[in-house]
């Protein structure tokens, strides 16, 4: 389909566990967006990098230390090489690019082609051939080269593939912001000028849409100007620093902000935080979602098929889960729990007990997510298990290879296993990916999230859990502020801790709140009032599954950003 209207640019995308072209939430969101765009017949095309050597495969050694192993993958099994070649200039060299295509199809919908840019061509230098090998690998130099390829190369490739009708360029995070430079050049060329001016900027702004994803400043790519000059060789970056730069560096977030007519954060709270960070910009919010059919476990898929036919094409109808019989929900949940237990048994030899409340936590191991908050007071945890009822804990998640602190957190969690001894079964499943995320978010009883507010932009794994009737126990941040009804869709952590400004006090306050909720609210309900607990599960599906999905999200992009 060459008459696509929306071009979606993303550094990572998660389409299949066998394609390691994603690191985490940003890529999962991209994959789910494309699936829902296909479903909703939004004429979209997506652009990303090939990541021939993927992100990495995580192994955890006997001491609990993360080891990164390469993950080559069989790209020709999933992708189809495209004939055109385009090039970009990097440090004055011409770097040739090709694209590989994956068609994302859903029955009854459109196909959305996803193009993966590849610089590993014989005509390129050995170094340039590696530029599309590693997702989030290398240093600032490697990263800016990748972003030249994604942004500038991406637009050129779309043109070479015959996409001439594109009316919107959607940047999923700032990595692709250099697409703006290419569009400015195009606009000037079309007007018969050699350099772009204010008119071109207006024309580009009308076409660009930017979704910002993190309130953590270090998550925004910025490059020193000498590096930019060396790689890109474009005087405009310094000459028009009010467009390209912030604090004397090329700043991809500011560039994207300056060249977009519509900017959004990924939850209401995140948009508020972003407005504080980027005061002069108008920042709306479209809360993230997940692709419902992808993230609903097979047992719940058949339950929904029986009771709510049409839920796949119309996710809003999941609202009618409010009349599902409680006994069937519980039975279906036990089946999902069994699927996770099966994988655990195969992988670790451990036998999870389906009658014991199982807590799940899996996400990137990094400081603000406080992955180890649950195990910060092991003695308290043991007391809870003996006073209020037994507990099992399933952990997962990777740390970025350069995040030493994140790796230490994994090791700390890993070591707690020994202190817990026989009191609580706990395990850390390695190599968290799409498949493991599906099993975990559906196969535990409570999904835990403990970010340091307001740093979790949205979070999406709790939405996956909700579709499977799994309630969240979470800090009030990101999407959970919107999805939380205390005791109805799950439980808040630390709702009374907002006065604690100091990080250590805040952590202690949140941990106490987490333990109190477990001991006095959740475990008693789970073991002594199963119907009440199952009713909470039902609310998760009807109130949150029906809303926090990418069908609703993409519809909002259509209304507010694409065809407004
Ligand atoms: C959903 C998902 C994430 C993102 O989860 P958050 O709750 O946003 O942290 C990360 N990695 C994988 C593999 C996922 O499936």
Tell me: do 394 and 427 sit in the same domain: yes
Residue 506 sits in a domain of what CATH number? 3.40.50.2000
108 lies in some domain: yes
Tell me: do 251 and 313 sit in the same domain: no
φ and ψ of 454, to 5 deg:
-100, 40
Choice among 205-214, 215-224, 494-503 with the minimum mean pLDDT: 494-503
Mean pLDDT of 285-302: 98
Residues 357-373 as b/e (b if ≥16 CB within 10 A, e otherwise) read bbbbbbbbbbebbbbbb
Tell me: do 413 and 278 sit in the same domain: no
Please report the pLDDT score of residue 290 as a whole number.
Answer: 98
Tell me: do 234 and 349 sit in the same domain: no
Tell me: do 92 and 183 sit in the same domain: yes
Mean pLDDT of 485-512: 91
Q: Which domain holds residue 150?
A: 6-289+553-562
Please report the pLDDT score of residue 465 as a whole number.
Answer: 98
Contact 120, 206 (CB under 8 A): no
Give 434 Cα–ligand 1 centroid separation in angstroms: 8
The tokens for 79 are: 């992708």
475 lies in some domain: yes
Tell me: do 224 and 109 sit in the same domain: yes
Give 548 Cα–ligand 1 centroid separation in angstroms: 14
- Rounded-to-5 percentages of helix, strand, coil across the chain: 45, 20, 35
130 lies in some domain: yes
Please report the pLDDT score of residue 46 as a whole number.
Answer: 98
For ligand 1, atom 13, the nearest C-alpha belongs to 433
Q: How many domains does the chain have?
A: 2
Tell me: do 262 and 337 sit in the same domain: no
Q: Is the CB of 26 under 6 A from ligand 1?
A: no
Give 426 Cα–ligand 1 centroid separation in angstroms: 20
1 lies in some domain: no
One DSSP character per residue, 228-271 reads: HHHHH--THHHHTHHHHEETTEEEHHHHHHHT-SEEEESSHHHH
Mean pLDDT of 476-496: 97
Best of 71, 290, 437 to mutate for ligand 1, by most ligand atoms within 8 A of CB? 437
Mean pLDDT of 502-513: 93
Q: Which of 541, 548, 528 lies closest to 488, judged by CA?
A: 541
248 lies in some domain: yes
For ligand 1, atom 12, the nearest C-alpha belongs to 24
Say if residue 155's pLDDT is above 60: yes
216 lies in some domain: yes
Say if residue 452's pLDDT is above 80: yes
Tell me: do 193 and 329 sit in the same domain: no
Q: Is the CB of 362 under 6 A from ligand 1?
A: no
Q: Is the CB of 396 under 6 A from ligand 1?
A: no
Say if residue 455's pLDDT is above 70: yes
For ligand 1, atom 8, the nearest C-alpha belongs to 459
Tell me: do 267 and 391 sit in the same domain: no
pLDDT digits (tens, 9 = 90+) for 181-214: 999 999 999 999 999 999 999 999 999 999 999 9
514 lies in some domain: yes
Please report the pLDDT score of residue 109 as a whole number.
Answer: 78
φ and ψ of 48, to 5 deg:
-150, -175
Tell me: do 190 and 205 sit in the same domain: yes
Say if residue 417's pLDDT is above 90: no
Q: Is the CB of 270 under 6 A from ligand 1?
A: no
Tell me: do 189 and 209 sit in the same domain: yes
Percent of the chain with pLDDT over 70: 99
Instruction: State the Cα–Cα distance between residues 170 and 6, nearest whole angstrom.
Output: 7
Q: Is the CB of 28 under 6 A from ligand 1?
A: yes
Say if residue 81's pLDDT is above 60: yes
pLDDT digits (tens, 9 = 90+) for 127-147: 999 999 999 999 999 999 999
Say if residue 1's pLDDT is above 60: no
Please report the pLDDT score of residue 477 as a whole number.
Answer: 96
Contact 211, 175 (CB under 8 A): no
Say if residue 163's pLDDT is above 70: yes
410 lies in some domain: yes
Angle formed by the axes of helices 326-348 and 530-539, nearest 10°? 90
Q: How confident is the model at residue 538 (pLDDT cuts 50, 70, 90)?
A: very high
Please, how many CA atoms are within 13 Å of residue 398, restricted to the half-sphere of its CB?
21
Residue 458 Cα: closest atom of ligand 1: 8
Provide the 3-class DSSP secondary structure of residue 37.
Answer: helix
Give 363 Cα–ligand 1 centroid separation in angstroms: 6
Q: How confident is the model at residue 70 (pLDDT cuts 50, 70, 90)?
A: confident
Tell me: do 511 and 540 sit in the same domain: yes
Give 196 Cα–ligand 1 centroid separation in angstroms: 40
């Amino acid at each position: 389909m060459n008459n696509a209207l929306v071009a979606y640019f993303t550094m990572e995308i998660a389409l299949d566990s066998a394609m390691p072209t994603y690191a985490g939430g940003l890529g999962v969101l991209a994959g789910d967006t494309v699936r829902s765009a296909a479903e909703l017949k939004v004429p979209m095309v997506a652009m990303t990098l090939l990541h021939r050597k993927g992100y990495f495969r995580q192994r955890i050694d006997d001491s609990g230390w993360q080891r990164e192993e390469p993950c080559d993958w069989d790209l020709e099994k999933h992708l189809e090489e495209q004939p055109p070649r385009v090039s970009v200039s990097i440090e004055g060299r011409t770097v040739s690019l090709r694209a590989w295509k994956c068609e994302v199809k859903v029955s009854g919908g459109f196909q959305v082609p996803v193009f993966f840019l590849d610089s590993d061509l014989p005509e390129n230098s050995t170094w340039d051939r590696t530029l599309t090998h590693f997702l989030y690998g290398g240093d600032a130099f490697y990263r800016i080269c990748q972003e030249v390829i994604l942004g500038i190369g991406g637009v050129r490739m779309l043109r070479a593939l015959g996409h001439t009708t594109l009316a919107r360029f959607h940047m999923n995070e700032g990595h692709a912001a250099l697409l703006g430079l290419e569009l400015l050049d195009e606009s000037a060329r079309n007007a018969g000028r050699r350099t772009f001016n204010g008119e071109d900027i207006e024309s580009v702004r009308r076409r660009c849409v930017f979704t910002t994803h993190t309130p953590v400043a270090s998550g925004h790519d910025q490059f020193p100007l000498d590096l930019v000059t060396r790689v890109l060789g474009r005087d405009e970056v310094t000459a028009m620093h009010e467009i390209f730069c912030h604090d004397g560096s090329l700043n991809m977030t500011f560039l994207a902000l300056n060249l977009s007519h519509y900017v959004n954060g990924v939850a209401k709270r995140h948009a508020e935080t972003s407005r504080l960070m980027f005061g002069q910009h108008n920042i709306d919010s479209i809360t993230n979602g997940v692709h419902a059919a992808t993230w609903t476990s097979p047992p719940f898929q058949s339950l929904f098929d029986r009771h709510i036919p049409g839920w796949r094409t119309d996710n809003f109808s999941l609202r009618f889960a409010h009349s599902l019989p409680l006994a069937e929900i519980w039975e279906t949940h036990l089946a999902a729990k069994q699927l996770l237990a099966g994988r655990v048994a195969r992988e670790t030899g451990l036998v999870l007990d389906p009658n014991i409340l199982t807590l799940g936590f899996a996400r990137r191991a990094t400081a603000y997510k406080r992955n180890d908050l649950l195990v910060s007071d092991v003695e308290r945890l043991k007391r809870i298990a003996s006073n209020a009822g037994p507990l099992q804990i399933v952990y997962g998640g990777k740390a970025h290879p350069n995040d030493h602190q994140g790796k230490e957190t994994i090791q700390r969690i890993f070591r707690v296993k020994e202190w817990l001894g026989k009191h609580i079964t706990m395990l850390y499943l390695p190599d968290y990916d799409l498949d493991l995320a599906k099993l975990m978010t559906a196969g535990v009883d409570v999904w835990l999230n403990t970010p340091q507010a307001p740093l979790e932009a949205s979070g999406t794994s709790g939405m996956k859990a909700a579709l499977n009737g799994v309630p969240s126990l979470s800090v009030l941040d990101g999407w959970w502020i919107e999805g939380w009804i205390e005791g109805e869709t799950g439980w808040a952590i630390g709702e009374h801790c907002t006065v604690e400004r100091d990080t250590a006090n805040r952590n202690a306050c949140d941990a106490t709140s987490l333990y109190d909720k477990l001991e006095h609210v959740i475990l008693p309900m789970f073991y002594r009032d199963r119907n009440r607990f199952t009713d909470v599960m039902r609310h998760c599906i009807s109130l949150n599954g029906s809303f926090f999905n990418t069908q609703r999200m993409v519809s909002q992009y259509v209304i507010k950003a694409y065809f407004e």
